[in-house]
């Protein structure tokens, strides 16, 4: 089959790599054009070099809607299938081009956690398991017929970054499995089940800076889930001595106290702990504005050395 691969982040690279190594016919790769103002876009440089080295047709775009030049370019490739990973919402005029459809790799067990940030929200909500789903793209976001799924345990040591890496590599094998299913013309996807509109476990909206503030009036376990779900990016945050502190790693002690949640306590040598509703959050790794990320002891030594 003629495959056009569409991606805008490194989450897609293992899937692209396995398809190339197993000699699938990749007739083109589509990614967003690098802006001259975006000098930090390392993914664009990495994926362009990959395509140049492997002699893969490298295609860029600035916008998708009403981009008839791009549409004609894609049609000219005579694609049998589009593989879409970490990309934008495809207009129907594009996702309907391939003979066998367009498929997306989504890092959740759909229909749970539809949306832009499924890995973050699965951890924030304290899920024990998550996974990956491939599905046929249709006009409804993340609601197309399911092709394949794989389940993975979320360990107590996982944060967003570690789970992202695990799912990134598991996704490559799921893509191959899904393509092999689609190769047979009689394959039909499984319709997704209905979701309750207000069920938090079924939505995974994009996370903005305003969503990253820790609620110290919550219990320890929920706060740790929140910190892990935002680590290492974008980072759970609080105010520390009139500046923003991002907390990337922490543990906790459940203990009865009468201290106002959010109160900061330190011995100026070994620990900084913050009161929650039912105990204390012990900071392990952090970053404050204008400084690099560091462990708690190095931070205390540097921050309090003149006090």
CATH number of the domain to which 292 belongs: 3.10.25.10
User: Rounded to two decimals, what is the model's pTM?
Assistant: 0.94
Q: What is the pLDDT of residues 24-70, one digit of tens each?
A: 999 999 999 986 555 556 899 999 999 999 999 999 999 999 999 99
Better-scored residue on pLDDT, 306 or 21: 21
Q: Is residue 86 part of a domain?
A: yes
Q: What is the pLDDT of residues 174-224, one digit of tens each?
A: 999 999 999 877 788 999 987 666 676 688 999 999 999 999 999 999 999
- As a whole number of angstroms, the distance between CA 98 and CA 210 comes to 40
Per-position DSSP letters for 115-177, written without gaps between them: SS-HHHHHHHTT-SEEEEEEEE--SSTT-SPEEEEEEEE--TT--HHHHHHHHHHHHHHHHHH
* Eight-class DSSP state of 52: H
- As a whole number of angstroms, the distance between CA 151 and CA 138 comes to 23
Q: Is residue 193 part of a domain?
A: no
Please check whether residue 92 is in contact with residue 64, taking contact to mean a CB–CB distance below 8 angstroms: no
Mean pLDDT, rounded, of the chain: 94
Asked if residue 1 has pLDDT above 70, the reply is: yes
Asked if residue 266 has pLDDT above 90, the reply is: yes
How many domains is the chain built from? Answer: 2
Please check whether residue 23 is in contact with residue 102, taking contact to mean a CB–CB distance below 8 angstroms: no
Is residue 159 domain-shared with residue 225, that is, in the same domain?
Answer: no
Q: Is residue 190 part of a domain?
A: no
Is residue 134 domain-shared with residue 270, that is, in the same domain?
Answer: no
Is residue 225 domain-shared with residue 178, that is, in the same domain?
Answer: no
> Which residues, including other chains, have CB under 8 Å from residue 238's CB and lie 6 or more apart?
213, 214, 216, 244, 245, 247, 262, 274
Q: Six-digit token pair at 149?
A: 């799924």
Question: For position 40, what pLDDT does the model report?
Answer: 57
- As a whole number of angstroms, the distance between CA 140 and CA 89 comes to 10
Is residue 30 domain-shared with residue 135, that is, in the same domain?
Answer: yes
The parent domain of residue 33 ranges over 2-182
> Which residues, including other chains, have CB under 8 Å from residue 279's CB and lie 6 or more apart?
219, 220, 252, 253, 254, 255, 257
Is residue 168 domain-shared with residue 218, that is, in the same domain?
Answer: no
**Residue 286 DSSP SS3:** strand
């Amino acid at each position: 089959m003629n495959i056009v691969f569409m991606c805008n982040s490194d989450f897609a690279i293992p899937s692209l790599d396995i398809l190339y190594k197993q000699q699938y016919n990749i007739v083109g790769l589509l990614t967003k054009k690098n802006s001259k103002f975006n000098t930090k876009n390392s993914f664009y440089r990495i994926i362009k070099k990959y395509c140049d080295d492997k002699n893969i047709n490298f295609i860029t775009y600035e916008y998708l809607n009403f981009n008839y030049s791009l549409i004609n370019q894609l049609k000219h490739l005579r694609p049998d299938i589009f593989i879409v990973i970490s990309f934008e919402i495809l207009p129907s005029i594009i996702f309907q081009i391939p003979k066998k459809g367009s498929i997306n790799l989504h890092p959740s067990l759909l229909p749970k956690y539809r949306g832009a940030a499924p890995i973050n929200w699965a951890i924030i909500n304290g899920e024990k398991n998550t996974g990956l789903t491939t599905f046929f793209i249709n006009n409804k976001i993340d609601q197309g017929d399911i092709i394949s799924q794989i389940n993975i345990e979320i360990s107590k040591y996982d944060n967003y970054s570690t789970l992202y890496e695990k799912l990134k590599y598991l996704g490559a094998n799921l893509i191959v499995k899904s393509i092999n299913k689609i190769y047979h013309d009689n394959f039909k996807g499984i319709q997704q089940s209905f979701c309750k509109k207000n069920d938090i476990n079924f939505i995974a909206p994009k996370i903005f800076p305003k969503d990253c503030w820790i609620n110290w009036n919550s219990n320890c376990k929920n706060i740790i889930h929140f910190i892990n779900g935002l680590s290492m990016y974008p980072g759970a945050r609080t105010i520390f001595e009139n500046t923003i502190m991002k907390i990337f790693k922490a543990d906790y002690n459940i203990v009865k106290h009468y201290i106002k949640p959010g109160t900061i306590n330190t011995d100026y040598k070994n620990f900084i702990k913050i009161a929650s509703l039912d105990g204390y959050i012990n900071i392990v790794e952090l970053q404050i504005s204008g400084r690099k990320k560091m462990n708690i002891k190095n931070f205390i030594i540097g921050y309090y050395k003149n006090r």
